[in-house]
Structure 1
């Protein structure tokens, strides 16, 4: 199955100001985030990306700008299901202020029970469901179009990526706050017919090891390509 690279957008003006941006319009990358986007394009240069999908929000599209500028063969495809959680009436408020709200404790300790207030608010369960549905559908499409060794990228947001990772690891959503995803980091997942594999989590270093490798010869009695390596991955496949 293909390898999915989940990219969190670079640091935004809301991140650096301690504001919960949500779907607020006009939230852009700050100066540091712009540099992160340039560095991201350099880190991805060695990987043969086949498809790039993104949240429609500006900070994600800006993050992908330098990458797309150097890879004219790639077309950006947008999917609202990868958009930020809809925080409803919390949108645009300061995190320090929100930490005093009773709902904050629920978000921290039992996120599966959290629904954000207001007519535009959604639950974290709904966010998780749509995000996982999106990446699994795109992954299947990428395999149909480009084969099982394809590498593709989806740019999204911190909570969204954490929910996708929790699903891949078989974790209950209530445990997803144990996962940390930094701005401009890359998380890699390979879905297989057996199970998902988490290859990188919040990676900010070299990505060369994610490039496709030659397929091993298969015969009766040999390890299946999608089997876990007993004793740990050897780094040779």
Structure 2
């Protein structure tokens, strides 16, 4: 009877030992799978251990990422309309072809002073004079500094010869209308008073020539 009890006791101890070993194994396995996330600036590190601990300098607190605010482009200030006083004098050369009943200005190439940076003048013109003083048609472009200003004579423009026959000096008077431009003179308007002169030296009709030329433009430029 005692032998039977001893055998039963041994079996119970074996079962209890096996259960304890099994529980210990499960507990150890569960403890080994615990993982924490550690942060240091932008560096992220995961630590797995029974009792995981972040390395020195790391923390389990996730850093707050500050939203990057893109700077907004500065608002472009649109230039406001203005009235600009102009008083420019241009001197250079004028190309001419004249006959008994016409004067053709084939080219004007002149440099300006006090011209708001519009230092170059290019132009053309024509007249069909029936008298010693008659109307004159002409147009030109003032340019410089990346800007241009377009002008053309209105009906008040006249070309008057000092003498009835060549050689003679031609005086130009009247108004030039501003017809826009480019750069800061885009869309510009206004009227400029014109005074100028050039010479006709050849006495032979139908002959081309190039002579000295001078013109002064004064008035206001209305910019947009």
On whether the aligned pair clears a TM of 0.5, the verdict is no
Please identify which structure carries the higher helix content: 1
Q: Which has the higher contact order (CA 8 A, sep 6+)?
A: 1
User: Which structure: greater strand fraction?
Assistant: 2
Higher CA-based Rg: 2
- Scaled by the length of structure 2, the TM-score of the pair is 0.26
TM-score using structure 1 length: 0.25
